């Protein structure tokens, strides 16, 4: 069984994390990141995490059903509310960006211009077009180390940690393949559902089970915690189905990656049924 070792520089400096989207899954991830930050500090990490949350959406009444927002916060920006809450409670200096990730945005570990800086990008977006924007932002000449993608439908979903092919992560047999590389249909905007988001509490609950976002977020955070705590992982993602109680892991397996890519490319409908994968929505 193959293993992946953490990029060593992430153990020697503060780790910049960029969370894109803070709806149902994103807010659960953001709410759990302070615990990972505290764990790193307790084990002697020199800087822990610095988190930036990107989302232009405002809080609606439906968001108050299964997302951590109060009715008194309706109309306020989600990212600002979450980050201010965590900063006050934990004594942090994390940041909020009240915008959607733009097409053409460049994400780097050291770039100091108008674009964004991050070692790790966590994508919690609700369309394939948005996921494609993240793919482009962490690819090519970017120096992002990891892209953690989460997505779900009503009662199942996935989390996948990848090393996007860029100036930091060169081609190698064991480079962790990203969600977009393994499942090409999740970055195909033509497959997006153009339906509007649910506008009522009942519609919101019919679209998604109450706890699917939190379950996926906890699995993803646990994977990241193991990577930092032990310096290596033996899997880089997984699939969860709350309807059946089944979970499965995505192994670090170059042959398995090749099989998955072929199956996804030639028959994505069959592949999604076999893997219980998401339809691309995460909020």
Give tens-digit pLDDT for 65-108.
889 999 999 999 999 999 999 999 999 999 999 999 999 999 99
Angle (CA) 35 36 42, round 5°: 90
Share of the chain above pLDDT 70, in %: 87
Token code pair at residue 178: 């990203």
Tell me the per-residue pLDDT of 96-142, one tens digit each, with 9 for 90 and over: 999 999 999 999 988 666 679 999 999 999 899 999 999 999 998 99
Name 233's Cβ contacts closer than 8 Å, sequence gap at least 6: 3, 4, 161, 223, 226, 227, 252
71-78's contacts with Cβ under 8 Å and 24+ in sequence apart are 78/22, 78/23, 78/27
pLDDT score of 282 more than 70: no
Q: What is the mean pLDDT of residues 167-185?
A: 95
* Sheet of strand 49-54: strand arrangement: 95-97, 49-54, 15-20, 120-123, 146-152, 156-162, 235-241, 246-251
Span 151-164, mean pLDDT?
Answer: 94
- Residue corresponding to tokens 């211009």: 113
Spatial CB neighbours of 220, under 8 Å, sequence gap ≥ 6: 29, 122, 148, 150, 159, 161
pLDDT at 113: 66
pLDDT tens track for 238-278: 999 999 999 999 999 999 999 998 888 776 543 444 344 44
Mean of the per-residue pLDDT values of the chain: 89
Of the pLDDT bands very low, low, confident and very high (cuts 50, 70, 90), residue 223 is very high
- When mean pLDDT is compared across 161-175, 189-203, 268-282, the lowest value belongs to 268-282
Please state the rounded mean pLDDT for residues 50-54.
98
Contact 55, 67 (CB under 8 A): no
Decide if pLDDT at 214 tops 50. Answer: yes
Average pLDDT over residues 139-152: 95
Mean pLDDT, range 31-36, rounded to an integer? 98
> What CATH number should be reported for the domain whose range is 4-275?
3.40.50.720
- Answer yes or no: are the C-beta atoms of 130 and 21 closer than 8 Å: yes
Note the pTM of the prediction, 2 decimals. 0.91
Distances from the Cα of 47 to the Cαs of 135, 162, 206, in angstroms?
A: 27, 23, 42
SS3 152: strand
Q: Is the pLDDT of residue 57 over 60?
A: yes
Q: Which of 44, 54, 77, 36 is nearest to 123 (CA)?
A: 54
- Domains of the chain, by residue range, sit at 4-275
**Does the structure show a pLDDT above 60 at 46?**
yes
The tally of CA atoms less than 13 A away on the side-chain side of residue 65 is 17
Contact in structure between 164 and 224 (CB atoms under 8 Å): no
Instruction: Give me the pLDDT at residue 1, please.
Output: 76
- pLDDT of 265 reads 75
- What is the pLDDT confidence band of residue 198, given thresholds at 50, 70 and 90? very low
pLDDT, tens digit (0-9, with 9 covering 90-100), for 158-167: 999 999 999 9
């Amino acid at each position: 069984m193959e293993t992946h070792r953490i990029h060593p520089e992430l153990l020697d400096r503060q780790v910049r994390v960029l969370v894109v989207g803070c709806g149902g899954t994103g807010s659960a991830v953001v709410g759990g990141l302070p615990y990972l930050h505290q764990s790193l500090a307790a084990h002697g990490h020199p800087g822990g995490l610095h988190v930036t949350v990107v989302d232009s959406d405002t809080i609606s009444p439906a968001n108050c059903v299964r997302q951590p927002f109060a009715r008194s916060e309706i109309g306020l920006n989600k990212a600002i509310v979450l980050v201010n809450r965590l900063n006050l409670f934990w004594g942090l200096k994390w940041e909020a960006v009240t915008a959607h990730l733009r097409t053409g945005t460049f994400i780097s570990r050291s770039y100091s211009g108008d674009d964004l800086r991050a070692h790790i990008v966590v994508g919690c977006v609700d369309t394939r077009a948005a996921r494609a924007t993240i793919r482009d932002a962490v690819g090519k000449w970017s120096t992002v180390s990891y892209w953690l993608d989460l997505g779900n439908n009503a009662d199942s979903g996935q989390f996948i940690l990848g090393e996007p092919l860029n100036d930091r992560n060169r081609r190698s047999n064991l480079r962790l393949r990203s969600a977009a590389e393994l499942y090409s249909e999740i970055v195909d905007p033509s497959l997006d559902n153009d339906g509007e988001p649910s506008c009522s509490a009942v519609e919101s609950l019919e679209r998604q089970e109450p706890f699917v976002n939190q379950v996926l977020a906890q699995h993803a955070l646990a994977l990241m915690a193991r990577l930092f705590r032990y310096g290596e992982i033996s899997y880089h993602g997984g699939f969860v189905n709350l309807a059946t109680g089944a979970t499965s892991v995505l192994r670090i397996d170059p042959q398995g990656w090749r099989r998955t890519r072929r199956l996804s490319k030639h028959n994505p409908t069959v592949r999604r049924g076999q893997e219980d994968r998401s339809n691309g929505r995460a909020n």
